[in-house]
Amino acid sequence: MSSRIILIGPPGAGKGTQAARLSEALGVPAISTGDIFRANVKGETELGKLAKRYMDAGEYVPDEVTNSMVADRLAQDDAAEGFLLDGYPRTSAQVDELDHILAAEDKAIEHVVELTADTDEVVARLLARAQTEGRSDDSEDVIRHRLDVYEEQTQPLTDIYRSRGLLRQVDGLGEVEDITERILSTIR
């Protein structure tokens, strides 16, 4: 069974944890744009060198570079039967590009899972994580701003995928195992 899934949710909702668990349960790779960027930069690929220039300047990596890296990653053998995307697409233009990439292989996204979580709970999680990881720059104000930006940027994506009948909203709070089961039950 193939599975082509996008996992979205606010910072602190547990996407990374769930991506790893779902990857194992479904037998597909969890692909995060952060990992793709790091692998390309570390491997000193042409795209990695280009992305590094933007990242070193503190700028966003342009869609063209990000799209190329994602297309390259999705073309790898381990993603032939499916994948779980975390952190891509982030814009409606990237949604269009992902559609184009997959259509070239006569494939399409099957599910978009949005982990939902109470804002105050997410803030508490991120503050605890910041303290544990020694990230003094993650104050409550900064975290709440990041959550506002996430909401603003993600709304157009959830609207697109909801209109296609692909969006599945899953409560991201509770025991890790329970959340995984909730996700799996919505996509099977």
Write out the catalytic residue numbers: 15, 90, 129, 135, 146
Question: Does the annotation flag 58 for ligand binding?
Answer: no
Is 73 annotated as a binding-site member?
no
The three-state (H, E, C) secondary structure of 18-81, written as one string: HHHHHHHHHCCCEEEHHHHHHHHHHCCCHHHHHHHHHHHCCCCCCHHHHHHHHHHHHCCHHHCC
Q: Which among 66, 114, 106 is positioned nearest to 89, based on CA atoms? A: 66
Nearest to 5 by CA among 175, 184, 151: 184
> Any binding-site annotation on 165?
no
**38 annotated as belonging to a binding site for a ligand:** yes
Helix (H), strand (E), coil (C) string for 171-185: ECCCCHHHHHHHHHH
Supply angle C-alpha 86, 89, 93, rounded to 5: 175
Known binder of ligand: residue 164?
Answer: no
The reply to whether 41 sits in an annotated binding site is no
- Does 129 show up as a binding residue in the annotation? yes
Q: Is 21 annotated as a binding residue?
A: no
Q: Is 15 annotated as a binding residue?
A: yes
**In this structure, what DSSP letter does residue 130 have?**
H
94 is in an annotated binding site: yes
Q: Is 174 annotated as a binding residue?
A: yes
> CA–CA separation, 184 vs 27, rounded Å?
13
Rg (CA), the chain: 17
Residues placed in the known binding site for AMP: 33, 38, 59-61, 87-90, 94, 135, 146
User: Which amino acids are annotated as binding site for ATP, given as ranges?
Assistant: 12-17, 129, 174
List binding-site positions.
Answer: 12-17, 33, 38, 59-61, 87-90, 94, 129, 135, 146, 174
